[in-house]
Structure 1
Amino acid sequence: MNKKQLIFPKDFWWGSAWSAEQAEGRGETGKAETVWERWYKEQPYRFYQGISSETTTDHIHQYKEDVQLMKQTGHNSFRVSISWARMFPEDGIGKVNPKAIEFYRNLFTEMNNNGIKVFANLYHFDMPAILQDKGGWESREVVDAYVNFADSCFEEFGDLVYHWFTFNEPLGPILGSYLEDFHYPNIVDFKRGAQAAHFTVLAHAKAIAAHKKRQLDSKIGVILNLSPTFPRSQNSADVKAAEIADLFYVRSFLDPMVKGVYPEKLITLLKDYDQLPEDYTEEDLKYIRDNTAQILGLNYYEPRRVKARLTAINPEGPFLPDWFFENHVMPGRRMNEYRGWEIYGKGIYDLCMDIKENYGNIEAFISENGMGVANEERFMDETGQVIDDYRIEFIQDHLAYLWKAINDGCNIKGYHLWTFIDCWSWINTYKNRYGLVSLDLSTQKRKIKKSGEFYKQLSDQNGFDYDVDLLV
């Protein structure tokens, strides 16, 4: 064993992240119906144990206690999202809600007063349902409504926010809404998804342009869910399959949002299959080219492993990315059996090196990384504390490779865990728990897990001891 103290750069951002829909609860401020609330009304049986987002972690009422818990778990930064539906409770664009402004200003002030930098994200899957009725991200009208929302947030909270982010995981709603049936409105139509993707990228660019006009001290960027893509083998068919999967799932948003241009190979492929969006203009492309992310959040959970297709595609079926590849189940892989995800710490190193080598080493941070586990009450001690050594090991293994990436020249400024307090997780609701702090949903009682105590020590020491012989 070769134990070494891995020390991170000065002023490293230690923190975590969650979203408005997953943590705030509805509250009394006034809030428009979101697509998640509507979907729950229409199909509650699709949500694990029938749990809605009405209360969740009730952060809107308990934010002062929660900020103290942030301090007690070593946070010097935290990513929230601002609810578009709360800010504009009538129609998503009209009159801004003074009660929403009061809540967010109080929250951000409380965070700043306790030494916790505010990382504010503008969109985390929670489209106001009334705007979804107007076409959602397929609509230019909705793009304009989003930019109005973003600019209103810059105006109301610009003095309190350290960094802004236009979107969290913009690929998620495209996959879920248009390809894979895990987001409302559950359409399966790639071309419509491509249109929604283009307008999402355009909205990102226009929000950045609005931020620039405000001349705020903060930076603005985007948070992307990125997985390094590995072919099963170096056989040319496997390599080609991995390249195409990477185009769809990584470069599709990373290139236009950071470089300002769509990848040519992806454009050519979609053109060959008549899947390009129909509504795009030269002015759109100029906006995208001229307004790119100033900082990049990297959400990493697992690698992507693919192989050449072994079976034929049904030509009558809908066009989908997996026409070109199949997922590869690597023998011997280490798994989080609860979430069905591979645990591969080195992937975080590979991802950071990709950003360094191919994206100008843009200022970046790990904006999500974490381990969801079901039935964590199994691991409670006699005091009711969750003894989650598995989560501590997961964090350490990933941080060790992040430390290696930083030492190899990657411009990584922080690490945010998913998540702070166990929160509501879309159709999985509370099935898997991710928090540093446990939540009793019936009583709303919070209790710091063993991992939360570890995280405080990690932050205080700006590092931890690790067997560096484990790094490959």
Structure 2
Amino acid sequence: MDQLAVLICFTVFTFTTADDAVNTKAFPKDFKFGVATASYQIEGGWNEDGKGENIWDHLVHNGPFIIKHNDTGDIACDSYHKYKEDVRMLKDLGVNHYRFSISWSRLLPTGFANKVNPAGVQYYKSLIKELKANGIEPFVTLYHWDMPQPIQELGGFLNDNFVDWFGDYAELCFKHFGDEVSNWLTFNEPISTCQQGYGNAVKAPLIHSPGIGEYICGKNMMLAHARAWHIYNDKFRSKQKGSVGFVVDSLWYEPSSNKTEDVHAAEMKRQFVWGLYINPLINGDHSTMVKEQIARRSKQQGFKRSRLPEFTEKEQKYLKGTLDVIGLNHYSTVLVSAQEKPDPSAMGFFVDCEANEWKSDDWEKSGSDWLRVVPWGIRKLLKWIKDNFNNHKIIITENGYSDREPKLLKDDRRIHYIKSYLSNIRDAMEKDGVNVIGYTLWSLMDNFEWTSGYTEKLGIHHVDFNSSNRTRTKKSSAEFYKKVIATRCLAEKCTA
């Protein structure tokens, strides 16, 4: 459903002030509550026990030094040594699942499957065993931004052989851990990976190739996901009976007015996320809107073909239907309007859409410029996903609140954020019929937040990064979330 006629019918649907009230309906008994982390952000042990170098190791040690205070993930939360303490925190919360990522370089130091690191295999087996012993379901991400440096030096996502290399790595993980892991996610956040890593060069590996490299990255990521899905489907699913999903990072793009051009611009922004990174996995190809838009602009710029690489007919068949569950990372919302005079020479994901985006001054600010508190945005996004992708199964894989206080333990604004977003998720399930199966809060604890280093806090446990012990301290938000999980309810008194 990517046609203009459909999006105009969609228009701008708003909620009444009554929807600002907290939903008092209990979450279903089979709804899963969890928390999330990622390997480079928490593990540390960056060169211990045979682990190889990844692109973030390389960046923080060799520059350019773009991380706040020149922070590194060399030790981070020291979860490589303190995973049992992490599991105790998870057990205390009462979570159903824990989303973590495997460090490709810890398993395969060179990135290639010919050399497996036994210590890396054992670390993740020990973590998974500890989780299972405490009744916690592992939710495993295979790639959370930490490409092995040797593979990056061969082009990373820009090398078509990446599809095979990732498939080999995924198969290794299914083989070693799949008997205990039922939930797999291949890639985390294609926008952050491709657009920011291979487009505007603000995240590792800092490749500046807007409108070309970032789209090649996306194509190979889609095919690599499909390769992993087919490997699992053909070799492991019948025995392990799990699922393979993909995590997309998406704002809600709200039209700034009811004007047709602004409604169209907002839909174009959505399609530049979902039409690029989910439509291929469900329907076999990029959405028509995105293909036509980039082809038109490419032609204007003198290219002989579209800058968006096409999938062959064979690739389309290979891609179609390779998504068991949609993982959604959502934090905030932006307003969108059509550009009056688009720059005809500009290239890239953020300009090819020919739309302006900004945040309303009326929206509550968090500790980070990128995050405003707009709870109704997640309900609108979930309904849009339902309407566009035949009510596909969704799990919220990240959602959370940022502050920059050195040690804020009474984090009432984070509690407000979690409560209001969960309420809108419950509304989407109850009132809009969206198939949401779970919610995963980012994050279990404060950690290395990429270019912000340790200045940005999104955890429900404080970590003292000045202490060699990396002492963890529970915040008020952890107690709140613990109660929500125990009661499956956001109000003091829930209704059935």
TM-score (norm 1): 0.92
Structure 1: runs of 5 or more not aligned: 380-385
- Cα deviations by residue, 1:224-265 (Å, 9 ceiling, x for unpaired): 112221111122222232222222133211211233321012
Gap change, CA 1:376 and 1:55, over 3 Å in 2: same
- Aligned counterpart, 2:13: none
Quick check: 1:339–1:373 contact (8 Å CA) kept in 2?
no
Kindly report which structure 2 residues correspond to 1:35-434, keeping only aligned pairs within 5 A, or say none: 35-43=55-63, 45-183=65-203, 184-213=205-234, 214-215=236-237, 216-274=240-298, 275-278=306-309, 280-289=311-320, 291-310=321-340, 313=343, 315=345, 317-323=346-352, 324-377=354-407, 379=408, 386-408=409-431, 409-434=433-458
Quick check: 1:19–1:80 contact (8 Å CA) kept in 2?
yes
Q: Give the SS at the match of 1:165.
A: strand
Deviation at 1:295, TM superposition (A): 1.0
Quick check: 1:221–1:297 contact (8 Å CA) kept in 2?
yes
- Cα deviations by residue, 1:375-403 (Å, 9 ceiling, x for unpaired): 242x3xxxxxx111111111000011111
Gap change, CA 1:192 and 1:45, over 3 Å in 2: closer
Gap change, CA 1:4 and 1:365, over 3 Å in 2: closer
Structure 2 counterpart of 1:191, which letter? I
Q: Give the SS at the match of 2:113.
A: coil
Moved more, 415-424 or 356-365: 356-365
Tell me, in whole angstroms, the C-alpha distance in 1 between the residues paired with 2:337 and 2:344: 18
Structure 2 counterpart of 1:160, which letter? E
CA RMSD in angstroms, aligned pairs only: 2.1
Tell me, in whole angstroms, the C-alpha distance in 2 between the residues paired with 1:205 and 1:235: 39
Tell me, in whole angstroms, the C-alpha distance in 1 between the residues paired with 2:359 and 2:421: 21
Gap change, CA 1:62 and 1:249, over 3 Å in 2: same
Count of residues paired in the alignment: 459
Tell me, in whole angstroms, the C-alpha distance in 1 between the residues paired with 2:309 and 2:434: 38
- Aligned counterpart, 2:475: 449
Deviation at 1:7, TM superposition (A): 0.8
Moved more, 335-344 or 220-229: 335-344
Quick check: 1:400–1:466 contact (8 Å CA) kept in 2?
no
Deviation at 1:467, TM superposition (A): 10
Moved more, 359-368 or 142-151: 359-368
Tell me, in whole angstroms, the C-alpha distance in 2 between the residues paired with 1:304 and 1:467: 33
Tell me, in whole angstroms, the C-alpha distance in 2 between the residues paired with 1:328 and 1:450: 31
Quick check: 1:374–1:431 contact (8 Å CA) kept in 2?
yes
Tell me, in whole angstroms, the C-alpha distance in 2 between the residues paired with 1:414 and 1:168: 17
Tell me, in whole angstroms, the C-alpha distance in 2 between the residues paired with 1:243 and 1:3: 29
Q: Give the SS at the match of 1:420.
A: coil
- Aligned counterpart, 2:12: none
Tell me, in whole angstroms, the C-alpha distance in 1 between the residues paired with 2:257 and 2:492: 31
Quick check: 2:367–2:404 contact (8 Å CA) kept in 1?
no
Quick check: 2:47–2:53 contact (8 Å CA) kept in 1?
no
Deviation at 1:425, TM superposition (A): 1.1
Q: Give the SS at the match of 1:298.
A: strand
TM-score (norm 2): 0.88
Deviation at 1:37, TM superposition (A): 1.2
